[in-house]
Amino acid sequence: MDADDLRIVKAVARIGSMNRAAAELNMVQSNVTSRIRLLEEELGVQLFVRHSRGVEPSEAGLRLLSYGEQIHALFEQAITAVKEDGTPKGKLRIGMMETTAGLRLPALIAQYVQEYPKVELALVTGTTAFLTHQVAEHELEGAFVAGPVHHQELSEETLFLEDLVLVSPRSVRNFDDLANVENLKAIVFRQGCSYRQRLASILDGLGIRYVVMEFASLDAIVTCITAGVGVTLLPKTLVDRLWIDQSVTVHELPVDQARVETVFVRRHDHPPTSALNTFLRMSRQISDIAILDRQLEAIS
């Protein structure tokens, strides 16, 4: 088995057809079929299940594909490492929660893109669970997620501190009002979002019954809250920017419920490229931790 075999397996699995995969790979179908058959004989397992509509990966095939993605990522990292000369360039894939993207990083990203045009910067938004998995699986060089993470393959560095607040319609003036809302809607991101988990914990702790409404984007959540559909949990600084007209009620929370760290996670077994090192350096310059240290130095 070699890298070319994995490329063929990946194409067949994605397309679901030996014939169409062969066309995409600029090969004849017989060669693709033969390579798959020989690989199955070499490994002693069936990689694809054949049916009238084409093929699909077997359980063994799916396991092979997961390693294939990692091997492909390692090839890319090897190529990048060989070309490394201290100048930020090449591909850089960074993940971030939508709240971090909307609150902390727009100016930094704009500056980075302008100063380092040779870097192909790609940004991915998602939940903490999704982004952490993407970093662990070599799909992202790093990601801003809610911490702590405690993943054995990842290192994490705290960069930002957020104070979360509960946001509700203006008619809900306090937690007593909240408890009296019939069919209360908790407006949240999809599963894997740490803010969602914390909101559930707060409402459960208050004995408040609620129905979950799940959305994939911050814009959708903001629209629902503005329309008075339900409640959500967001960083206070972001809330202050989004609702300057005070069209919602903002409920402060105890420190142990409000405070959350935003950490940057990356694989600790991969040396960072110049592109990533530079991005991290710029991130540290605007981090809450760095700002606090500078304030303490000024006082002392």
pLDDT, one tens digit per residue, over 271-298 is 888 999 999 999 999 887 655 555 545 5
pLDDT, one tens digit per residue, over 57-97 is 999 988 888 887 777 777 777 776 777 677 899 889 999 99
Task: Write down the pTM of the prediction.
Answer: 0.74
Strand partners, 125: 96
- Strands 90-96 vs 119-125: parallel, antiparallel or unpaired: parallel
Q: What tokens appear for 291 in the block? A: 């700002």
CATH (residue range 87-159+261-299): 3.40.190.10
- In degrees, rounded to 5, the angle at the alpha carbon of residue 212 between the alpha carbons of residues 241 and 247 is 30
- The one-letter code for the residue type at 156 is E
pLDDT, one tens digit per residue, over 152-192 is 999 999 999 999 999 999 889 999 999 999 899 999 998 88
- In degrees, rounded to 5, the angle at the alpha carbon of residue 154 between the alpha carbons of residues 152 and 155 is 110
Q: Where are the domains of the chain?
A: 3-80, 87-159+261-299, 162-259
What class has domain 162-259?
Answer: alpha beta
Of 66, 112, 99, the residue nearest 278 (C-alpha): 112
The arrangement of secondary structure in 3-80, i.e. its CATH architecture, is Orthogonal Bundle (1.10)
**Percent above pLDDT 70 for the chain:** 95
The confidence score (pLDDT) of residue 296 equals 47
